[in-house]
Chains A and B, each alone.
Chain A
Amino acid sequence: MSAPAPGRPTVRWTWLAFLLVGAGGSLIVLAVAYRDAVPLFAGIPLLLAPFLAGAQGSLEAPRADLVWLARGLGPEVAIDGVLRAPFGRSAVAVSVQVPRPAGVLQTAPPAFERDATAIRFHFRWRLTEPAILTLPPPRVLWHDPLGLTERPLDGERPPLRIERYPPSLYRLGAIQLARTTTLPGEIHSRARGASGEFFGLREAGPGEPPRSINWRATARAGHLLMNEYRIDRTGDLLVLLDVRPTSLGLEVDERLLSLARAAAYGIAEALLRAKSRVGFASFGEFLTTVPLSTGRIHRVRLLRAIQAARREEIAGPAMRCALGLRRLYPRGVTTLVLSAWTEDPLFNLVPYIQRQGFPVVLLSPSPLPMRAGTGGLEAADEPLAVRLERLERRTRLSELWLHAPVVDWEDFWTLEPLARILRRPSYRRAS
């Protein structure tokens, strides 16, 4: 086959095409060798079929553009896509190959609807834990009816991002973080609340506190109205992701890191929505940081940095991280540390960061749900092993409570314990 022109997909032969050409060629060689025309006649169709199938692919394969989106809440992911092209009758010859990432379960078989101009597909998946996934553009291949050739279809097919984090994070933006800006009211939040600068009146719903009812306005209007205030957002949050290797092994480390990435992005997005300033840092051997800021562009910046955070092979000393934060961020910024915390206390970043003047909250994704059932134990012994592991982990984490509040994140689809801790003003324990 001739060399492909740049940007133009070419027809590829499958192994069956090579087999047929080999068989057909052999029959013709034998026919010539034995001076017998019968094998030659048997070989002609075999030899010609791959070339004819390739020619059919060159004529039938159109350019196909894809529009797809991911819907659903929590662990449920519904992917709907439309592949548009003038397929005509060749729609049945086109296959769409969407790779299913690790940790994603299929809850229903994929459904395809085909007509002359479009192929619609629906996938129903379930995530085992929160994650930020980027699905690569699906492979769209034209196949000939004999299975001899295939041809990738050209077209615009963007990757698809799936963001799933605990739903409780959607309410995290209403939390007042510790003040770190000089003047109160410097940054206005989009969130409305019960205190701050007066914003307007709204209808009172059931269960509203009587103190928030504007009685004069209620008397004028004849129905209950309440005051609404614009919250002053003066708190900042720094999300620190620990990407150092642990003794749990590569696979568990990667899963924990994926979980931590999803939590970091969910928390950052919830606070950015309320116009809080959010910074991000990841620490492996060295420190990689994104400065404190807010806004939509910063959201993209954070997402890229969070997605780029990968497990590193060498662990840097905790002091290096703490000093780096001290240099790059203002003292007093609430710091949320995401780490598995499976090693000895000296490995932990908490005391070092806290000594540099940062109030710390720890969020520790637990490896126990990921390791359940992997020890080769019998079913009867498994609950006891899990219980012992949980006790050991709690003992280890309890030592960290001396320095900062700790959230042992075991139920991956809720972060309500973290929200409860952040709501308390007493979490600031910076020395």
Chain B
Amino acid sequence: MSAGPPTSVRGGGLLTAAVFGVAAGFLGLLGFLPLPVGPVVGALGVVGSTVLRTRPRLRPAAPLPGLAALAVLSLAAPAGPSTDLFAGATGLAFLLWLSDDPLRPTGGGRRALPTIAPAALAVGLAWGITLGLAGQPQQVGLAGGLLVAALVLLAWLFAGLSRPAATRPPRAEEGRRVRSPGVKSGRVPEGGGPP
């Protein structure tokens, strides 16, 4: 039995769903898919994820439609500065939507800023580098991949090495000794013992 703050302090997650939907729709518009198909795929992903989140039994599978839509739209988009940026923005919008789950008391878009902001910085940095590198798409991809690998390595090290700031070392054992229970265990033979 666990609980957190009441869920009514946040909205129903509709605002972040709308942000995710708009970002996915724009990414669909920019892709190779025919005009209505791209935005429809994005909208279906967002709506599917949001609806699944409200069903208790299907709740664990809620992120899957959104992730699938994101993957399809990003694979169908041509390489270019604007599509790169919208793909990153759609990934960030997905994280924002993920954080704003009204049924998860420990969630919240504002609380997620320390997680989403560095990811947004990474996307911005990668986008800036691709703008600066005027080269072939494969070179850009390799550069971006190396950049991400370096960032992940840094994040890994940061997560592993940083110590909790507000913790203190465990105190020594306290309390007084309690005498042993002194429970006797006797086995009486079948024929009985001496009287």
List residues of chain A with CB under 8 Å of any chain B CB.
1-2, 7, 11, 15-16, 19-20, 23, 26-28, 30-32, 34-49, 51-56, 58-63, 85-86, 88-89, 92-100, 106, 109-110, 112, 114, 121, 123, 139, 141, 143-147, 154, 156, 286-291, 297, 300-301, 304-305, 308, 317, 319-321, 323-324, 326-328
| Chain B min CB distance to A391 (Å) | 37
In contact, A41 and B184 (Cβ under 8 angstroms):
no
Neighbouring B residues of A301 by C-beta, 8 Å = 181-183
Asked whether, in the complex, the Cβ of A45 is within 8 Å of the Cβ of B123, the reply is yes
Q: A37-B79, A123-B1 are in contact. Are A146 and B98 (CB under 8 A)?
A: yes
0 or 1 for each of B64-98: is its CB under 8 Å from A? (1 = yes): 00010011011101110001110110111011001
Are the C-beta atoms of B183 and A290 separated by less than 8 Å? yes
Residues of chain B within 8 A of A99, CB atoms compared: 1
Q: Contact at A37–B166, with CB atoms within 8 Å?
A: no
B162 to A48, Cβ gap below 8 A? no
Q: Enumerate chain A residues within 8 angstroms of B57, measured Cβ to Cβ.
A: none
A327 to chain B, nearest CB (A): 5
| Chain A proximity of B111: nearest CB distance (Å) | 4
Which 7 pairs of residues, A with B, have the shortest CB-CB distance?
Answer: A51-B155, A62-B166, A45-B91, A323-B192, A35-B138, A42-B74, A145-B111
- How many whole Å from A279's CB to the nearest CB in chain B? 10
Whether A36 lies near B91 (C-beta < 8 A) is no
B residues apposed to A, CB below 8 Å? 1-5, 60, 63, 67, 70-71, 73-75, 77-79, 83-85, 87-88, 90-92, 94-95, 98-99, 101, 104-109, 111-112, 114-116, 118-120, 122-123, 126-127, 130, 136-138, 140-142, 144-145, 148, 151-152, 155-156, 158-160, 162-168, 170-171, 178-179, 181-188, 190, 192-195
Using known A-B contacts A42-B70, A42-B88, determine if residue A287 contacts B115 with beta carbons closer than 8 Å. Answer: no
Q: A58-B159, A328-B186 are in contact. Are A44 and B67 (CB under 8 A)?
A: no
A96 touches B126 (CB 8 A): no
Q: How many angstroms between the C-alpha atoms of A173 and B54 in the bound complex?
A: 57
Q: How far is the CA of A20 from the CA of B70 in the complex (A)?
A: 12
Which of B60, B78, B126 contacts A41 (CB under 8 A)? Answer: B126
Bound Cα distance A30, B17 (Å): 27
Tell me how far the C-beta of A70 lies from the nearest C-beta in chain B, rounded to whole angstroms: 15
Which chain B residues border A36 with CB–CB below 8 Å?
Answer: 75, 79, 137, 141
CB <8 Å contact, B115 and A53: yes
Q: Is the CB of B137 within 8 A of A37?
A: yes
Do A48 and B122 touch across chains, with their CB atoms under 8 A apart?
yes
Q: Tell me the bound Cα distance from A24 to B181 in angstroms.
A: 58
CB distance from B81 to the nearest CB of A (A): 9
Task: Name the B residues within 8 Å of A100 (CB-CB).
Answer: 1
A-side interface mostly: helix
B107:A145 contact, CB within 8 angstroms: yes
Residues of B close to A47: CB separation below 8 A? 148, 152
Q: Which residues of A lie under 8 Å from residue B160 when comparing CB positions?
A: 1-2
Name B106's contact: one of A52, A54, A95 (CB within 8 Å): A95
Q: A19-B63, A38-B79, A92-B105 are in contact. List 16 more A-B contacts (CB 8 A).
A: A2-B160, A26-B71, A32-B145, A37-B79, A38-B78, A41-B84, A42-B71, A43-B91, A45-B119, A51-B158, A62-B164, A146-B107, A287-B187, A288-B185, A304-B183, A327-B186
Report the separation of the CA atoms of residues A285 and B167 in the bound assembly, to the nearest whole angstrom.
50
User: What's the least CB distance linking A355 to chain B, in Å?
Assistant: 12
Considering the complex, give the chain B residue whose CB is closest to the CB of A143: B106
Question: What residues of A have a CB within 8 angstroms of the CB of B183 in the complex?
Answer: 288-290, 301, 304-305, 308
Q: Is the pair B106, A110 in contact by a Cβ cutoff of 8 Å?
A: no
Query: What is the CA–CA distance of A94 and B159 in the complex, to the nearest angstrom?
Result: 19
Task: For B74, list chain A residues within 8 Å (CB).
Answer: 27, 38-39, 41-43
Q: Give the shortest distance, in Å, between A114 (CB) and chain B (any CB).
A: 6
Return chain A residues, CB-CB under 8 Å to B108.
92, 145
Residue in B closest to A287 when the chains form the complex, CB atoms: B186
Residues on B with C-beta less than 8 A from A48 are: 118-119, 122, 148, 151-152, 155
Q: Chain B residue with minimal CB distance to A324?
A: B188
A34 to B71 CA separation, bound complex (whole angstroms): 14
Write out the residue numbers on chain A whose beta carbons fall within 8 Å of the beta carbon of B156: 51
Contact between chains at A58 and B148 (CB < 8 Å) = no
From A41, A58, A62, A95, contact of B127 by CB (8 A): A41
Given the known interface contacts A99-B1, A154-B170, the answer about A16 and B63 at a Cβ–Cβ threshold of 8 Å is yes
By the criterion CB–CB under 8 Å, are B94 and A46 in contact?
yes
A324-B186, A328-B184 known; A86 vs B141 contact (CB < 8 Å)? no
**Contact A45–B120 (Cβ < 8 Å):** yes
A38-B83, A45-B120, A291-B184 known; A145-B99 Cβ under 8 A: yes
> Out of B2, B85, B166, B187, which one reaches A86, CB within 8 Å?
B166
Instruction: Find chain B residues with CB under 8 A from A55 CB.
Output: 155, 158-159, 162
Q: Are A42 and B87 in contact (CB under 8 A)?
A: yes
Whether A11 and B181, one on each chain, are in contact in the complex, defined by CB atoms closer than 8 angstroms, is: no
A37 touches B3 (CB 8 A): no
Residue numbers in B under 8 Å from A35 (CB-CB): 136-138, 141
B96 closest partner in A (C-beta): A146
Known A52-B115, A92-B108, A145-B99: A40·B186 in contact at CB below 8 Å? no
Chain B residue with Cβ nearest A54: B159
Distance (Å) between the CB of B182 and the closest chain A CB? 6
The reply to whether A286 and B67 contact each other, CB–CB distance below 8 Å, is no
